[in-house]
Structures are given as C-alpha cells and as structure tokens.
Structure 1
Amino acid sequence: MKYSGLLPFACAALLGLAGCSKTSENADTAKLEVRLTDAPGDFQSVVLDVRQVEVHLKDEGNPDGWKTLGFSPQVINVLDYVNGRSALLVSDDFAPGDLKEIRLILGPNSYVIGRDGQQYDLKTPSGQTSGVKLKLDKATLKTRETFQLLLDFDVAKSVVERGGWKPGNDKKERYLLKPVIRVVAQDLRGGISGTVSPAAARPQILAIRSTILGPDTVSTSADVSGAYQIGGLPSGTYRVEYFPSTTAPTGQAAYRNVVRTGVTVVNDQVTTLGTTSLN
C-alpha cells in the first residue's frame, strides 16, 4: 500500500484506527486491541519475530512515556493475514487517554521464503534496537469502549533486496526489512473488495480518492485466487486501477490495464466490485 509519509524506521502511520464498541469490563477502563493485517507480496512466507509491543503515552521525545502491552512473543507469517483477515496481537484493559505512538520490538529470527522455495534471513536494522515506531493521530481511549489499532503491513514495499545481491551469494544477506506500515484511523471503516479474471494476471490494485491535498492512494495486490480487499478507507468516490504484474501465456489474450471510476465508499461498509476482467 502507498502512504503519505515516512518515518525513520517505517512508513508513517497515515492515521490512527479505531473501532469503538461497548465492553463489559472494568467500568473505569477502556480496552485496547492491536491487530496486524497485510497486503499480498511476491513471497511464499514473510515471518516476523515480534518480541514486544509498546505504546507511548506522553509527548514525543519523552523516554518515560512507553508502556509495554500484554503480548506473548511469537513469530507471525504476515501473509496469512490478507484480504480482510487480521492477527490479534494485543487485547488489554487500559486506562483511558491519548496514545502518541506504538512500536514493535523485533527479534533476530525474522525470515522470508522466496518464490524459489529458499529461506532467507530478514535483517531488521532498526526493529531489533529502538523498535519499529509508528505515530498515532487522534488515538484516544474512552472509558468502557474498545479501541483498536490496525497495523496494515505492506510486504511488497517492506522487504527490500540488498543492492548488488547475486544468486550464489550468502542467502542470509539477500533481504532487509524496512517496514512500511499504515495505521488505520478511528473513523475509517469503509472498504473495497472484488476479484479479477484471470487470477494469473496478479495485478496491483490502486484505490485513488481526490482530496484538497492531492490524490490519496491506497494499494494492494490480488491473491492467487484473484481476490482482493482494501480496508480502512474514508468515505468518498474512488477511481480503482488494475495493473497486471504478469504476461499472458502465448496464444491467450493479452492482459490489460483497467480503470473503474465512480466507485462509492461508505463508512462501515465494504463496496463489492464483483469480477473485473483484465483481458
């Protein structure tokens, strides 16, 4: 997916999520959930060694503002969580108030399995020290409500091949993790879903909305079945563009770029576009 800003350690959070629903827990607390979802990428697996999840409660730069959440260290194949599926990382009772940042501390055991079936270590320059940090916008926990942060991980932009790498080199040195993560905001609960035909075209899909600041673009890729879903979209009218990433076999009609206009997204609903033909 494409985002409007970058952080030093990751692509910045565009926005800060939350879905608010009543909870029957302690009347003086809120409930905080953290979930992880993903856009498909050109790998068999992308496994993150997540050791710790923290949120920052004070002004930026204050080292005393970090609070560790109740998270059990685990390895997560982010490609298991695409097209609307998400992994629940944290579900904690929490004091009401504002959250400023969230960060993930990653261990040394992250890796990818490429299309060649080989496993490659995934180096994380920042995530193993200061953590993958994401700023939050308008993230306010309220008493007796559940607040959810959805971390939307973009594999295609986050896993970067080292410059100058050649087959035959040490496979441990092929890939770096430079996380590109969108944090979906409180009032952004619209979406677009559909399928493409033929699925073998494996297109990149862009949802583009015009704003006073210029085009706001979010992207994903269709999975092997041709299905796709883009969540966390603000209400509005979108142009949806499809760009095949493969070439049609000899003797078959060529794959083509397709543009669909006038796609309406409404808050709290997923707009279904049906099947889009790419040849």
Structure 2
Amino acid sequence: MKLTRLLPFAAVALLGLAGCSKSDDAANTSKLEVRLMDAPGDFQRVVLDVQQIEVHLKDDGNPDGWKTLNFTPQAINVLDYVNGRSALLVSDDFAPGDLKEIRLILGPNSYVVGRDGQQYDLKTPSGQTSGVKLKLDKATLKQRETFQLLLDFDVAKSIVERGNWKPGNDKKERYLLKPVIRVVAQDLRGGISGTVAPAAAKPQILAIRSTILGPDTVSTSADASGAYQIGGLPAGTYRVEYFPSTTAPTGQPAYRTVVRTGVTVLNDQVTLLGNTSLN
C-alpha cells in the first residue's frame, strides 16, 4: 500500500501523580495501539528486523520529546498481514495528549525471500541509526479512549533493487530497504471489501482517491478464496482497479483487468463491493 500519512508489544505508561490511586490513574489515561499491515510485493517473504519503537511528544526539532515504548525486538514477516489482517505492536495505557511522530529503529537482519526461493539481505541506509520517522497528523490521545495507529507498509515501493546488480553477484548487495509507510490514525475507519473470481487470478487490488496533492493509492491482494479487504480509508469517492498477477491455464478464458469507478467510502463503514469477475 502507498503510505503517505504508516510487532505483540506494550507501551511505557506515562502517567500518574504522587499520591493518586490506581483507579484514579486508570480514569485519567487513554489506550494506545500500534498495528502493522502490508501491501503485497513480488516476494515470498519480507522480514523486518524491528529493534525499537518510539513516539515523539513535542514540537518538531525538539530532541527531548522522544519516548521509547516497551518493545521486545523481533523479526516480522510483513507479508503475513494482508487482506485486513494486522500485527498488534503496542497496546497499553498511555498519557493523554498529542503525538507528533512515530519512529521505527531497524536492525541489520532484515531480508527478503524472492520468487526464486533465494534469501537476500536488505540494506537499510538510515533506519538502522536515526530510524524511520513518520509524521502524525491530528494524533491526539483522549482520556478513556483508545487511539490506534496503523502502519501500512508498502512492500513494492519500499524494496529497491540495485541497478547494477546481476545474477552471480553477492546476494547481500541486491536490495535496499527504503521504507514507504502510510500512517492511518484511529478516526480513519472506512474501508472496502469483496471477492474476485476466479481466485486463481491472484489479483492486486488498488483503491485510488483523487486529492489536491495527487492520487492517493492504497492496495492489497486477494487471498486464496478470492476475498480481499482494505481498511483505514478516508471518506471519499474511489476508483478500484483489479490486476491479475497470473495468466489463465490453457483452454480457459483469459483473466482481464477490471476497473470500477464511483465507489463511495464513508467514515466508520466498510463498503461491500460484492463479487468481481476477472474473466
């Protein structure tokens, strides 16, 4: 998915005044959730070595505003989280207030497994040191409410093949990881879902919305049954495109690209698109 606005873990609780009871603390806190989901790419596995997650609580440029979340470093295959599935990274009580940024610190052990079955290291130019920083817009945690940040990782745009790499070269030098992540805030809860037939076409599904900054594109792929779902969409009118990733067997009707226009998405609702035939 295109990520222009984003693994079980817990956040540090930033709360409490001396002398307050536990019940008082609970009443004055909010809950923060951070989830990860993915748009597909042309790989068997895409594993991210996530070492640390931080949030920034102060104005831009203030180096003192970062808070480290209570996170266990681990490797995550992001391709496990498509078609509406997501990995819960953080879920814990947190102090009410504004969040300005979220930052992922990536370790040296990220890798992909290509369609050829070979494993290739992912070089991370900046994520291993300064981290992958993502701006947050209108991320305000309120008392007694849950706020969710959905990190929508775009595999196709995030993994870049070196132009001068050739078969036979060092496998560690083939790919660079330049994360493209869309951050979806809690109040963006529209979506679309449906099925495609035949499921064997294994299509990529794109939801495209026109904005003053240009097209905003979010994508996913259908699962083995032909079902798909895209969540975290702002309200608006979308064009939905279906691109088969395989060819039909000999003697069967060819798979075709299908475009549906005028698809309306409303806040807090999932628009049901029914079945779409790709024959």
TM-score exceeds 0.5: yes
* TM-score class normalised by the smaller sequence: 0.7 to 0.9
Tell me which residue corresponds to 2:252: 252
After superposition, residues 177-256 of structure 1 pair within 5 angstroms as: 177-211=177-211, 214-256=214-256
Deviates more, 1:70-79 or 1:214-223: 214-223
Over 3 Å counting, the alpha-carbon distance change for 1:212 and 1:44 in structure 2 is closer
* Residue identity in the other structure for 2:117: G
Tell me which residue corresponds to 1:176: 176
Aligned residue for 1:44, secondary structure, equals: strand
After superposition, residues 104-143 of structure 1 pair within 5 angstroms as: 104-143=104-143
Tell me which residue corresponds to 1:33: 33
Contact 2:52 2:71 in 1 (8 A): yes
User: What are the superposed Cα offsets for residues 176-232 of structure 1, whole Å, 9 maximum, x if unpaired?
Assistant: 111111101232101111222223333332212344555433222334443322111
Pair 1:147 & 2:147 matched:
yes
Tell me which residue corresponds to 1:9: none
Contact 2:57 2:100 in 1 (8 A): yes
Q: What is the TM-score normalised by the length of structure 2?
A: 0.87
User: What are the superposed Cα offsets for residues 218-254 of structure 1, whole Å, 9 maximum, x if unpaired?
Assistant: 2223344433221111223322112223333333322
2:164, 2:196 → 1: CA distance? 35
1:165, 1:37 → 2: CA distance? 29
1:211, 1:173 → 2: CA distance? 37
Q: What is the TM-score normalised by the length of structure 1?
A: 0.87
Contact 1:207 1:240 in 2 (8 A): yes
Say which of 5, 11, 29 aligns to 1:13.
5
1:80, 1:203 → 2: CA distance? 17
> How many pairs were matched up?
262
1:215, 1:52 → 2: CA distance? 32
- Show structure 2 runs of 5+ residues with no match: 7-22
Q: Percent identity?
A: 89
After superposition, residues 52-67 of structure 1 pair within 5 angstroms as: 52-67=52-67
Contact 2:161 2:175 in 1 (8 A): yes
Deviates more, 1:166-175 or 1:192-201: 192-201
1:192, 1:135 → 2: CA distance? 25
Displacement after TM superposition at 1:31 (Å): 1.5
Aligned residue for 2:61, secondary structure, equals: coil
Displacement after TM superposition at 1:275 (Å): 2.2
After superposition, residues 69-80 of structure 1 pair within 5 angstroms as: 69-80=69-80
User: What are the superposed Cα offsets for residues 2-46 of structure 1, whole Å, 9 maximum, x if unpaired?
Assistant: 35xxxxxxxx427xxxxxxxxx87112211111111112221111
1:173, 1:123 → 2: CA distance? 8
Deviates more, 1:65-74 or 1:185-194: 185-194
1:213, 1:79 → 2: CA distance? 29
Aligned residue for 2:156, secondary structure, equals: helix
User: What are the superposed Cα offsets for residues 35-74 of structure 1, whole Å, 9 maximum, x if unpaired?
Assistant: 1111122211111111100001111111111100111111
Deviates more, 1:65-74 or 1:203-212: 203-212
Contact 1:207 1:239 in 2 (8 A): yes
After superposition, residues 259-274 of structure 1 pair within 5 angstroms as: 259-274=259-274
Deviates more, 1:120-129 or 1:218-227: 218-227
* Residue identity in the other structure for 1:237: T
Tell me which residue corresponds to 1:278: 278
- Show structure 1 runs of 5+ residues with no match: 4-11, 15-23
Displacement after TM superposition at 1:77 (Å): 0.8
Displacement after TM superposition at 1:262 (Å): 2.9
* Residue identity in the other structure for 1:49: D
Displacement after TM superposition at 1:154 (Å): 1.0
* Residue identity in the other structure for 2:222: A
1:44, 1:106 → 2: CA distance? 20
Displacement after TM superposition at 1:150 (Å): 0.7
Tell me which residue corresponds to 1:17: none
2:170, 2:36 → 1: CA distance? 31
* Residue identity in the other structure for 2:41: G
